Amino acid sequence: MKVGELARRTGLSVRALHHYDQIGLLRPLQRTRAGHRVYGVAEIRRLQQIASLKALGLSLDEIRGCLDRPEYSLDRVLALQIERLRSELERQRRLMELLEGVRRQAAAGEPLSVDDATATIEGTLAHERYYTPEQRAELAGRAEALGPEGLRRTREDWAALFRELEDARRADVPPGAPRVQALAAHARELIHAFTGGDPGIQAGLERMYRESAGAASLERHHAGVSPELWEYYGRVMKAGRVVGGI
pLDDT at 114: 55
Report the pLDDT value the prediction gives residue 82, as an integer from 0 to 100: 82
Question: What per-residue confidence (pLDDT) applies to 111?
Answer: 65
Query: Domain limits of the chain?
Result: 3-72, 113-239
Entry pTM: 0.45
pLDDT at 125: 56
Q: What's the pLDDT at 51?
A: 86
Task: Tell me what percent of the residues of the chain surpass a pLDDT of 90.
Answer: 20
| Low-confidence stretches of the chain (pLDDT beneath 50) | 119, 213-217, 219-222, 242-246
Among the listed residues 178, 192, 190, 176, the one whose alpha carbon sits nearest the alpha carbon of residue 237? 176
pLDDT at 59 (0 to 100): 76
| Tens digits of residue pLDDT in 20-30 | 999 999 999 99
Residue 36 · residue 42 · CB < 8 Å: no
Tens-digit pLDDT profile for residues 23-78: 999 999 999 888 889 999 999 988 988 888 887 767 788 788 888 777 777 787 77
CATH class for the region spanning 3-72? mainly alpha
User: If you write DSSP's letter for every residue of the chain in order, what string do you get?
Assistant: -BHHHHHHHHS--HHHHHHHHHTTSS--SEE-TT--EE--HHHHHHHHHHHHHHHTT--HHHHHHHHTSTT--HHHHHHHHHHHHHHHHHHHHHHHHHHHHHHHHHHTT----HHHHHHHHHHHHHHHHHS-HHHHHHHHHHHHHHHHHHHHHHHHHHHHHHHHHHHHHHTT--TTSHHHHHHHHHHHHHHHHHHTT-HHHHHHHHHHHHHTTTHHHHHHTT----HHHHHHHHHHHHHTT-TT--
